Chains A and B, each alone.
Chain A
Amino acid sequence: MRISRLSATLARTAALLVCVQAQAGEEVLKLDEGAGHDVVTTSCVLCHSLDYIQMNAPVMTHARWEATVRKMIDKFGAPISSDDAKVIVDYLSAHYVGAQQ
C-alpha cells in the first residue's frame, strides 16, 4: 500500500517535470504541513497554482471541497484516483475551510 502510494507520487512527480509550466513567482506559495500535503501539492499544481486553494479557503466547506475535487476530476480530467481524492478532500477540509459547515 505504502509502496503503491509512493510509486503513484513518483509518477505524478515525473508527470509534473514534463508538463508543468510553472509561472515564475508561484514557488513562494506554500500550503500548510499535514497529512495529505504531498498528494495535494503534486495533484493540484499540475493544472493550477496553489493560490487558488488559499484564495477560496474562507468560502469553503468540506462539502464544497468535495464538489470542487469532483469537478476537477469529472469536468477538467484531473488524473486523481478515488483514494487520492479522499486524501485531498480530507486535507483541504482540515486546513482550508472558513465557511460555516
Chain B
Amino acid sequence: MQFRPDRRHILTTLASLPWAAALLPAGAAADPLADSGLIALPGKRPLIKRTFRPPNFETPPLALRDAFTANDAFFVRYHLAVIPDTAAHDWRLRVGGASAQSPLELSLSDLKHKFAHVSVTAVNQCAGCRRGLFTPRVPGVLWEHGAIGNAVWTGVRLRDLLDHAGIRADAVEVVFNGDDAGVLAATPRFLKSLPVDRARDEHTLVAFEMNGRPLPHWNGAPARLVVPGWAGTYWMKHLSSIRIEPQAFDGFWMKSAYRVPANAFPIQRVAAQETADTWPVTSLLINSLITSHRAAERLPLGKPAQLRGWAWDGGSGVASVSVSVNGGGWRDAALGKDLGPFAWRAFEFPLDTATAGHMTALVRAAGRDGARQPEALTPNPSGYYHNAIQRVELEVA
C-alpha cells in the first residue's frame, strides 16, 4: 500500500481543530510532519502519527468523543513492518495444533456461513495506552490517551471453531498467529496465546466486521481476534493460524514482552505464564477518560458546562464515576446508557462556572467488582496499565 501525506490537507485539518494547538510545539512554526503531526494512512482519516513503520497511529481527542469510535479513526498498532494486504478470497484460517483432534482450514466464506454470527460491543485498548504520560518516563511507543477505541465487533465465536477442530483433554493454551511479519526472517513472528478457558469464553470472537462494516485493513482485515476485557495485544490482527497446544507458549511476545511485575496490578491471572518476578499483561483495569475538555481550556463565566467522557473496565462493568472539583469531595457523575460490560460508558457532570478562576477537576471510575482508579500510576518498566485518576486544569473567565 502506498500513501502520500497531503500536507495541505494536514494543515487544513489542524487549523480546523480546536485542540490541535496542543500537538504543535509552542511558538514553533507549525510543521505537522515533524513528530506528532496528523497524517492519514490509506483508508484512515488523519491520525496522530507516533511511528511510520511499523505503523503506530493514535486516535485524536476529538474522535474519542463518539460512543462508537469510527473505523477510519480507530488507532493503529503494529510490532512488525511487513503487513500483507490479503485479499478476502485468498485468506485462509488454519485451526490445528498438537492438542487438536481434527485440524481444519477455513475460507472467509466458510467462517461467515458455517458458524453462528455474534456481536459484542467492546473497548480495544492497547496495554501501553498513556505510556507517554508516565513519570518517570519509559521507552516504547509514547502513546497518550488515544490508543483506545470502542466498537461493535461482529464475527463468530472462537469456541465454535475450537470445538469444531476438537480440543483434546491435554490442551493448555491456544496460540494465535497473524499475517504480519518482520523484515528479517530472524525476527520472531508476533504470536500470542490465551489459556483454553479464555479462548473458549463465549465473548471471544474471530471478527470480520467492526461497527457493521468490514474490518479496516489497518485493524486486522479480513479477520481478527476480539478478546473483550483483555488488552489489545491479544486481539491478533490478520489472523491466519490458531493452534491448540498441550503446553504454555514460550515465544518472545508472551515470555519477554507485555510483562508486568508480579502482584503489581489486580489483573486476571494466567498461572502457566507467570514467573516469580513477572506476570503477563491480561485484563484491562478500571479506567476513565475525559473527552469534553482539553488542558487549560477556558470556560466562559456563567455559561453551563458539562464534563464528559467514558469509563470502562475489564468486564465487570462500570458501577460509578465520581468527580472532584478544586479539592472538594467526590460527587457522582450521571452515567449514560449501558452498552454492555465490555463497552465504555458515558459520564456527565455539571461544572460550576459561576465564579471566575482556576478549576481543577478529577475523575475517578469504579467497577462493579469494587475496583477503583488509583490516585497514582503504578510504575513498571514497560509503561503498561496507566489507569491513574485523570486531572484536567481549566480556567473559568
Contact = CB atoms under 8 A, between A and B. Distances in A.
A2 B256 CA distance: 38
Given A25-B39, A68-B139, A47 B52 contact: no
Interface stretch (B102-110, B121-129, B146-154, B177-185): B177-185
Contacts of A5: none
Contacts of B49: 25, 51
A75 B188 contact: yes
Contacts of B141: 55
B81 interface: yes
A99 B137 contact: yes
Interface in B133-149: 137-142
Contact of B81 (A48, A54, A75): A48
Given A23-B53, A26-B52, A59 B35 contact: no
B33 A22 contact: no
Given A24-B5, A25-B3, A25-B5, A51 B187 contact: no
Contact of B35 (A20, A21, A25, A51): A51
Contact of A46 (B142, B183, B185, B256): B183
Interface residues of A, number: 30
A29 interface: yes
Contacts of A79: 184
A26 B53 contact: yes
Interface string A68-93: 10000001111100000000000000
Contacts of A24: 2-5
Per DSSP, chain B at the interface is loop
A77 B188 CA distance: 8
A47 B137 contact: no
A49 interface: yes
A20 B141 CA distance: 21
B186 interface: yes
Given A24-B5, A56-B139, A59-B139, A47 B55 contact: no
B52 A21 contact: no
A55 B50 contact: yes
Contact of B82 (A21, A29, A60): A21
A77 B3 contact: no
Contacts of A46: 183-184
A97 to B, nearest CB: 12
A1 to B, nearest CB: 27
B78 to A, nearest CB: 10
Interface string B215-238: 000000000000000000000000
A51 B183 CA distance: 17
A30 B63 CA distance: 30
Contacts of B54: 48
Contacts of A68: 139
A14 interface: no
Contact of B139 (A21, A28, A60, A77): A60
Contacts of B2: 24
A6 interface: no
Given A23-B3, A51-B52, A59-B138, 4 more contacts: A24-B4, A25-B39, A46-B184, A49-B53
19 contacts: A22-B53, A23-B55, A25-B4, A25-B52, A46-B184, A48-B53, A48-B54, A51-B35, A54-B35, A55-B51, A55-B141, A75-B188, A75-B252, A75-B256, A76-B186, A76-B187, A77-B182, A77-B185, A79-B184
